[in-house]
Amino acid sequence: MQRPQNIITYADIDLKLGIKSSLPNVKATLALLILMWKSEGCPYEVLYSQQNDDIICVSDEVMMRLIEYLAPTYRKYGIADDEFRQIVNNNQLLKSQMESLMVALELVWKVGKIRFQDEGKPNGAERTGGIRFPKVIKYTSNMDIIDSVMIVAEDNYKAVLLNWLGLDLPTSIVEDKQLRRVLTAFSETAVYKLIDRDSTVVFNQENLYCPLINSTDPIDINGDGEAKGALRILKSSLSENLNPYLNYSNGAVTASTDADLHLDLYQKRVDAFLSLSTTKILGVDEDIEEHNSQDGNNDTELYAEQLIRFKTGYQSNFERNRIVFGAPGTGKSYKLKEDCKILLDENQERYERVTFHPDYTYSHFVGTYKPVTDADDKIRYEFVPGPFMRVYVAALRSGRTQTPQPHLLLIEEINRAKVAAVFGDVFQLLDRDEYGVSEYEIHATEDIRNYLAKELDGVPADFNRIKIPDNMFIWATMNSADQGVFPMDTAFKRRWDFEYIGINNNENSNNMRGKITLGRGNHALEVEYNKLRKAINCKLTSSDYRVNEDKLLGPFFLSEKVREINDDGKIMNPDKFKEAFKCKVLMYLYEDAAKQHNRKLFEGCGSNSTYSSVCVAFDEIGIDIFGTGFRELYAQQGV
């Protein structure tokens, strides 16, 4: 004889209150989901779609059984199988992206869990690019309730659902209303969020019923900000009259005039049901905490039992995702280095720097399994984290404390690697909400779950879904003048705050004015580094060359050590400066910035304008390698 097992503890529900989850034609979507379940014999799951280029369509097997189940109903009204197939394959179960379907089916009506057939694909895989991937529906016990309702008059309900699907069939008003009542009951635990001026309102449908019982004034659910999360689904469902207790028009909700429904009694039943359904739900707790904090009654115990705190409460004037860009030598790295000191209060243990290059990969950046040698010189495989994962774990660990500290990942030359490939599914985490937390989660791979469990003293199931916390910063530099860069797509770039450093922004430094004599004999001329740099830039941007600003010379193109000056204002090591000028400045001009105009730019060198000849000429004639008129151009430059 057996005894019951212990109760299963399920993971907290992420309400995805910040996700942009539009879903038109809600009734048609639910209709197809129900009809597939019935036609398949009420199973647990249905692999309902197959790939067709960049789109998906209902699989041949599922379509065949749908037709067998429904053809006797729709053929009576002259509707052909081909028309039925077309209607089905235009359904949002096949057209909408995964995350919108998850919000509607899982969080609002709770009729099924929807996943990719490829379990390794992240939920956000369809967010950009317009490609759709095959999916599977795992049905819930709510479908059994629908089945018990339909079985009384199944043919009538078939007609109702086919009508919802988009076929022009006459239907029964009674069965239509009954099915809408059942689905509305399923949705009563759904949570919605809107912005009311400077505050956040978190509500469910009962919060619409109560005021409408006592007043005829409509309720505005548009709010003062963009609708996100389940609120978008609510608007779609109300506009399609899916909730028989409510009417809806242009964001205004009013009570239904159907006297048979008795909204006042239904609201009391909903209230009793919700009182028995209370549970801790991820997302709502954070909004409650924010509300309590504003009231001066912040309950820090809300997070006492949480293994991960994505919203730690850490605040900063610095942007979380930040790219500083500009021409070579404008001081991008220096700028971030100085800001890093401010952010981290000189604590370098909370900071990691990495430089991207063309061969840099996701495995380098996030981590991968690698062979390692243990104390007994035995080789075993374990997950070796990359810089992203190391900083991520450190930020999460700090987030558990009473005083969370910022942690920074600094990426040099971010566009010298294929960033979409390097970031992989981490790309989805870069969208941050108003608190600095990732708006969207990703499902962690098994190796990452195991690693996080090891580092943060949990079990792998605790880390199924991850976000970037508000105390983790990712800053980067970008130089679009480099020849070896890879283009960034718009979706990637819009997730960053870009900060441009102009070509002369950081030129006000004493050692920018260091003097040195260049050239010999009649060509000898004492020049100042910054004036020379600006004269070269001026020539490059003239009508003869039209070089873009991102290829000009910034003040720090030559390092500070090379430009070091003595008490007399002279370059301390002239030979070192000249070698650096030839190897860096002249090489850059010759190979990159003025590559198409070498002969013209270095006209002072004569017809022989190889790079080596330019360097030899520079030793002899100094700045006269740039031809006649350049001395006058140099003299015109301010310091």
pLDDT in tens, 67-83: 999 999 999 999 999 99
C-alpha dihedral, 145 to 147 to 150 to 154, nearest 10°: 180
HEC assignment per residue over 572-620: CCHHHHHHHHHHHHHHHHHHHHCHHHHHHHCHHHCCCCCHHHHHHHHHH
Q: Quick one: which of 183, 47, 55 has its CA closest to 116?
A: 47
Residue 281: per-residue pLDDT:
53
User: Is 496 in the same domain as 527?
Assistant: no
Q: Quick one: which of 556, 545, 557 has its CA closest to 593?
A: 545
Neighbour count for residue 585 (Cβ, 10 Å)? 19
**Using CA atoms, how far apart are residues 624 and 627, in angstroms rounded to an integer?**
5
Chain Cα centroid distance, residue 297: 33
Residues 484-526 have pLDDT tens digits of 567 788 888 889 999 998 888 877 665 677 899 999 999 999 9
- The region, left, alpha or beta by phi > 0 then psi within -120 to 50, assigned to residue 300 is alpha
- Residue 236 tokens read as 């779609």
- Residue 465 tokens read as 């879904």
**Using CA atoms, how far apart are residues 64 and 170, in angstroms rounded to an integer?**
24
Tokens 């830039």 sit on residue: 537
Q: What angle do CA 378, 380, 381 make, to 5 degrees?
A: 160
Q: Quick one: which of 378, 407, 384, 406 has its CA closest to 455?
A: 384
User: Is 529 in the same domain as 448?
Assistant: no
**Using CA atoms, how far apart are residues 380 and 487, in angstroms rounded to an integer?**
38
- Residue 192 has φ and ψ, to the nearest 5°, of -125, 160
Share the mean pLDDT of the chain.
87
What is the CB-side half-sphere exposure of residue 507 using CA atoms within 13 A?
18
User: Is 415 in the same domain as 394?
Assistant: yes
Residues 323-343 have pLDDT tens digits of 999 888 888 888 898 899 999
- Residue 294 has φ and ψ, to the nearest 5°, of -70, -30
Would 526 be classed as within a structural domain? yes
For residue 457, count CB atoms less than 10 angstroms from its CB and return exposed for 0-12, middle for 13-18, buried for 19 or more: exposed
Would 429 be classed as within a structural domain? yes
**Using CA atoms, how far apart are residues 457 and 453, in angstroms rounded to an integer?**
5
Structural domain containing residue 451: 321-501
Confidence check: pLDDT of 344 > 80: yes
Q: Report which residue type is found at 603.
A: E
Would 5 be classed as within a structural domain? no
User: Is 494 in the same domain as 540?
Assistant: no
Would 62 be classed as within a structural domain? yes
Look at 458 and 83; give whichever has higher pLDDT: 83
User: Is 271 in the same domain as 346?
Assistant: no
**Using CA atoms, how far apart are residues 231 and 283, in angstroms rounded to an integer?**
14
Measured CA distances, 498 to 9, 321, 471, 501 (Å) = 43, 9, 19, 10
**Using CA atoms, how far apart are residues 29 and 25, in angstroms rounded to an integer?**
6
Residues 272-309 have pLDDT tens digits of 999 887 655 555 544 444 444 444 444 333 333 356 88
Measured CA distances, 76 to 151, 462, 596 (Å) = 21, 53, 74
Among residues 260, 275, 290, the one where a domain terminates is: 275
Tokens 């090379």 sit on residue: 562
Would 253 be classed as within a structural domain? yes
Strand partners, 526: 517
Q: Residue 432 sits in a domain of what CATH number?
A: 3.40.50.300
User: Is 464 in the same domain as 546?
Assistant: no
For residue 352, count CB atoms less than 10 angstroms from its CB and return exposed for 0-12, middle for 13-18, buried for 19 or more: middle
469 pLDDT tier (thresholds 50, 70, 90): very high
Would 175 be classed as within a structural domain? yes
User: Is 68 in the same domain as 217?
Assistant: yes
Would 299 be classed as within a structural domain? no
Burial 187-225 (b: 16+ CB within 10 A, else e): bbbbbbbbbeeeebebbbbbebbeebeeeeebbebebee
- Residue 172 tokens read as 């029964």
Count structural domains, the chain.
Answer: 3
**Using CA atoms, how far apart are residues 466 and 493, in angstroms rounded to an integer?**
22
Q: What angle do CA 280, 135, 233 make, to 5 degrees?
A: 50
HEC assignment per residue over 349-412: HHEEEEECCCCCCHHHHCEEEEEEECCCCCEEEEEEECHHHHHHHHHHHHHCCCCCCCEEEEEE
Among residues 219, 243, 275, the one where a domain terminates is: 275
Residues 346-385 have pLDDT tens digits of 666 788 999 999 999 999 999 988 887 776 777 878 889 9
Residue 591: per-residue pLDDT:
84
Helix axis angle for 81-89 and 60-74, nearest 10°, is 130
User: Is 611 in the same domain as 536?
Assistant: yes
**Using CA atoms, how far apart are residues 54 and 30, in angstroms rounded to an integer?**
24
pLDDT (mean) for 431-455: 91
User: Is 141 in the same domain as 259?
Assistant: yes
Cross-sheet strand order for the sheet of 112-116: 45-47, 135-139, 112-116
Measured CA distances, 336 to 57, 116, 532 (Å) = 49, 40, 27
**Using CA atoms, how far apart are residues 174 and 151, in angstroms rounded to an integer?**
14
Among residues 501, 535, 552, the one where a domain terminates is: 501
User: Is 520 in the same domain as 616?
Assistant: yes
pTM comes to: 0.53
Strand partners, 112: 139
User: Is 327 in the same domain as 444?
Assistant: yes
320 pLDDT tier (thresholds 50, 70, 90): very high
3-state secondary structure of 289: helix
Look at 290 and 5; give whichever has higher pLDDT: 5
Tokens 């991850």 sit on residue: 466
User: Is 106 in the same domain as 180?
Assistant: yes
Residue 503: per-residue pLDDT:
85
Measured CA distances, 215 to 12, 223, 253, 539 (Å) = 36, 20, 12, 74
Would 8 be classed as within a structural domain? no
Residue 301: per-residue pLDDT:
33
Tokens 């950009």 sit on residue: 128
154-158, 265-269, 536-540: the lowest-pLDDT one: 536-540
